[in-house]
Amino acid sequence: MLKLDRLMIQYGPLAVAKDIDAQFQAGNIYTILGANGAGKSSLLKAVFGELAFSGAITYQDAVQSKAHLNAWRKPIAYMPQDSHTDAELNTLEVVLLGRMDALSRHISDELLTEAVELLAELNISHLAHRSIRSLSGGQRQLAMFAQALLRRPKILLLDEPVSALDMAHQINLLDKVRHYTRQHQLICIMVLHDLSLAAQFSDEVLLLADGNIQAQGIPKAVLKSEILRKVYHVDIEILTSHQGSPVIHPYRKLPSNV
């Protein structure tokens, strides 16, 4: 279990997280939602150890601290929102960097096979020997996701993993997230802007606003028009897909005094 206890994150006088308490269980996908500037990415960075905070973050028997940050990060794969890289490497080499701890002058056949299979599962085998710098934003996202999975993490942190992908690749990647989370009993925490995708692929969603968790639970319980209207300041229509998950349709901007 991953736990946040009274977590506070500040940028100068601005608190983007105020005494947040949350628990994340293995085998589940948690998606953090909220308007721009709500602190979604900051929360992931704090869990990974890239951002200072007060309070406590614990995983199993370990407590995150600067003194033991390398050990803390060992079971974590973090895929940031910005996947740009200036590295003079091809896609396969970038994926293999996910297991830097196992790399040497000789790459084992087992590790190479695992990396190649991940590229195939994400339908990007044809990019294996292309320079990572030559790829589109969406192609880089898929490569970085393969790198994250190659780490064999226990905690998977994904910040806007489908922002640059078309619909087919969005569904493919999120299907893989769900499959790996279930199969390997990961704790997966994502940040998404697409509420309908969050509803379809999340076990629980956390709605952030004003530095606090405004609501947390299964998507059907949290993604209600009255809650979303207050957080996003738009009128919301909630439909239901044939699978039974909410489909969120915003349709107009409300006046600022509403």
pLDDT digits 0-9 by tens, 30-72: 999 999 989 999 999 999 999 999 999 999 989 999 899 999 9
pLDDT tens column, 202-251: 999 999 998 899 999 999 999 999 999 888 988 889 999 888 889 998 88
User: Phi first, then psi: what are they for 124, rounded to 5°?
Assistant: -130, 25
For a pLDDT cut of 70, what percent of the chain falls above it? Answer: 94
DSSP string for residues in 58-115: EETTEE--GGGHHHHHTTEEEE-S--------BHHHHHHGGGGGG--SS--HHHHHHH
Q: What are the CA-CA distances from residue 211 to residues 12, 19, 214 (Å)? A: 14, 8, 9
In this structure, are residues 150 and 99 in contact, taking their beta carbons and an 8 Å threshold?
Answer: yes
Domain-wise residue ranges, the chain: 1-75+192-258
Of the two residues 106 and 12, the one the predictor is more confident about is 12
This prediction has a pTM of 0.91
The superfamily (CATH) of domain 1-75+192-258 is P-loop containing nucleotide triphosphate hydrolases (3.40.50.300)
